């Protein structure tokens, strides 16, 4: 899959405050508990106390420290200033923006509250393993995985990396899981079966349609000839001898591959990389056998 999959809007939104915050978000992420307030009270000036609270709640909400720690929605400033009993906070914000204390505070917050870098030992391994589980159970849209990764990092106090780095990380995890899926689905397929599956993409002799096109189409009439065609369709599928390996591949993953083979142009299926093409055709044949059997029974029931 391409490494770059985020939209311009997603990139601009990454690690940035939204224009507005809900009351629930303000209550959840910008509430200072007794321990927070006790520690913040040790700071000498109102500007230092407010600035520290801004940095602490920002990293809790966004998962990162801002280059300008005061560039936050006014609702955040008011929420924190109220809790710290700072009625006039405009001058405090300007003063904190100029001070070097803001850099000292980020170091202090990391140490006191246990925030780690993305590159620190174990973080990428644990995130990757968690994303692999999501991919395997069917949550494999890259943009959705990216949002899940973002939430995981924030929840585990791992500072967000650059957007391109995290995007590439998600793409690599997804690519590994796709390759694993394709290998599992095709590991028991013989060379003869591979050739017969590829032959499904070729035109039927004397026709512009491929065998794949024909297999996709179920019976559209209720008649004896339609029943014969439905039974021949089942026989063609069974003659391929495709059986899924004895492994727990989620049905949703098989279904997604089968749907692609059922709806995409034959030329699009033919252009897939070898491993993906074989896995797609295996999934299609496996899924089609059950539905073709049902189609034949429906025709028979209506004839009787």
Task: For 160-197, write each residue's pLDDT tens digit.
Answer: 999 999 999 999 999 999 999 999 999 989 999 999 99
In sequence order, what DSSP letters do the residues of 31-76 get, joined into one string? ---HHHHHHHTTSSSHHHHHHHHHHHHHHHHHSS--SSTT-S-HHH
Task: For 77-97, write each residue's pLDDT tens digit.
Answer: 999 999 999 988 888 999 999
Distance CA 69, CA 86 (A): 18
Distance CA 133, CA 142 (A): 14
Closest CA to 161 of 133, 132, 124, 112: 124
Burial of 261 (0-12, 13-18, 19+ CB in 10 A): buried
Distance CA 244, CA 229 (A): 26
Task: For 55-81, write each residue's pLDDT tens digit.
Answer: 999 999 999 999 999 999 999 999 999
The residue length of the chain stands at 304
Residue 120 binned pLDDT confidence (cut-offs 50, 70, 90): very high
Distance CA 51, CA 28 (A): 19
Closest CA to 154 of 141, 166, 169, 172: 166
Question: Does position 255 have pLDDT exceeding 60, yes or no?
Answer: yes
| Radius of gyration of the chain, Cα coordinates, nearest whole angstrom | 29
What DSSP state is assigned to residue 201?
Answer: T
- Cβ atoms 167, 4 nearer than 8 A: yes
**pLDDT at 181 (0 to 100):** 92
Give the torsion sign (CA, 300, 302, 303, 304): positive
For the chain, the domains span 8-113, 123-186, 191-303
**pLDDT at 215 (0 to 100):** 80
Question: Does position 1 have pLDDT exceeding 60, yes or no?
Answer: no
State the CB neighbour count (10 A cutoff) for residue 34.
7
**pLDDT at 301 (0 to 100):** 63
Distance CA 169, CA 289 (A): 38
**pLDDT at 129 (0 to 100):** 96
Alpha-carbon torsion angle 77, 80, 86, 87, nearest 10 = 60
**pLDDT at 237 (0 to 100):** 78
Q: What is the mean pLDDT of the chain?
A: 88
Q: Which residues fall within 8 angstroms of residue 153, CB to CB, at 6 or more apart? A: 63, 118, 127, 159, 160, 166
pLDDT > 70: percent of the chain: 89
């Amino acid at each position: 899959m391409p490494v770059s999959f985020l939209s311009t809007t997603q990139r601009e939104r990454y690690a940035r405050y939204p224009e507005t915050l809900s009351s629930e978000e303000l209550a959840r992420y910008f509430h200072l508990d007794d321990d927070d307030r006790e520690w913040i009270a040790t700071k000498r000036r109102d500007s230092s106390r407010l600035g520290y609270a801004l940095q602490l709640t920002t990293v809790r909400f966004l998962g990162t420290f801002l280059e300008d720690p005061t560039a936050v929605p006014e609702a955040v400033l008011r929420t924190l200033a109220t809790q710290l009993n700072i009625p006039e906070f405009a001058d405090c914000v300007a003063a904190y923006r100029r001070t070097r204390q803001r850099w000292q505070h980020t170091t202090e917050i990391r140490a006191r509250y246990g925030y780690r870098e993305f590159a620190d030992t174990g973080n990428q391994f644990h995130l990757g393993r968690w994303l692999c589980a999501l991919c395997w159970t069917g949550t494999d849209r890259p943009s959705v995985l990216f949002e899940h990764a973002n939430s995981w990092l924030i929840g585990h106090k791992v500072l967000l990396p650059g957007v391109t780095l995290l995007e590439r990380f998600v793409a690599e995890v997804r690519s590994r899981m796709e390759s694993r899926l394709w290998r599992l689905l095709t590991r028991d397929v013989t060379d003869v079966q591979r050739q017969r599956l590829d032959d499904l993409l070729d035109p039927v002799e004397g026709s512009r349609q491929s065998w794949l096109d024909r297999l996709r189409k179920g019976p559209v009439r209720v008649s004896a000839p339609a029943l014969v065609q439905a039974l021949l369709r089942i026989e063609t599928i069974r003659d391929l001898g495709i059986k899924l390996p004895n492994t727990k591949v989620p049905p949703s993953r098989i279904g997604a591959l089968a749907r692609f083979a059922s709806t995409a142009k034959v030329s699009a299926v033919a252009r897939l990389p070898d491993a993906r093409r074989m896995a797609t055709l295996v999934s299609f044949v496996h899924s089609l056998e059950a539905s073709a059997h049902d189609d034949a029974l429906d025709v028979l029931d209506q004839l009787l």
